[in-house]
Amino acid sequence: MTKQEKADNIARILDELYPTTPIPLEHADAYTLLVAVLLSAQCTDVRVNQVTPLLFAKASTPFEMVQLDVSDIKDIIRPCGLSPRKSQAIHDLSTILIEKYAGEVPQSFEALEALPGVGHKTASVVMSQAFGVPAFPVDTHIHRLAWRWGLSDGKNVERTEGDLKALFPRESWNKLHLQIIFFGREYCPARSHDAQKCPICSKFGIEELFNK
């Protein structure tokens, strides 16, 4: 079986298991999604969704956020980890959004990645989930599974993103990246993985990859 045939079969299985892909991070608009994704770095979506209602009750727009002290933001988001850095980034990017974009979140990778605390993955999530622009955000689940399934060599997330974009149709990227995340959490975890019960690893006999 070629790598492309394997990718096509994996996409079919994911479509069967996850015909719909709700966005894991709760948000109301592009700005609240941007903040939520920033908070999700090295933190679970569940924890972020517990914290953001408290934050957004005080400030759900850039104009409201800059009225808070950085220390106030830090106290609220502390459970998400890295609170000193994240709180400063949220305050700073909110200021930039007001000064450069009239309080709106820009709809380009370049502009998003220029914001404090916003890397390529965060920008990709916002572009895909807020604006519907095809993107393939690669998180730890996707990076790990792309290697486990033999779709990429696992050297780095940039390589994984490029390999996956080459294997799957552009119009499927936004849905597919969420499907892979959901699948990794439910069937294909990093530890205590039972390859015989995994709908993908068992089908394609690729369990030997992660035993090396």
Q: Report residue 94 as tokens.
A: 């909110």
Beta carbons of 180 and 145 less than 8 angstroms apart: yes
**Residue whose pair of structure tokens reads 């994911």 in the numeric block:** 14
Q: Report residue 5 as tokens.
A: 């045939």
Rounded Cα gap, residues 94 and 199, in angstroms: 43
Q: Report residue 200 as tokens.
A: 């993908």
- 139 an active-site residue? yes
- Kindly report the backbone phi and psi dihedral angles of residue 136, in degrees, each rounded to the nearest multiple of 5, phi listed first: -135, 75
Active-site pick, 139, 163, 165, 203? 139
Q: Sign of dihedral through CA atoms 94, 97, 102, 103?
A: negative
Active-site pick, 86, 121, 163, 175? 121
Q: Which helix (H) or strand (E) holds 202?
A: helix 201-204
Active site residues: 121, 139
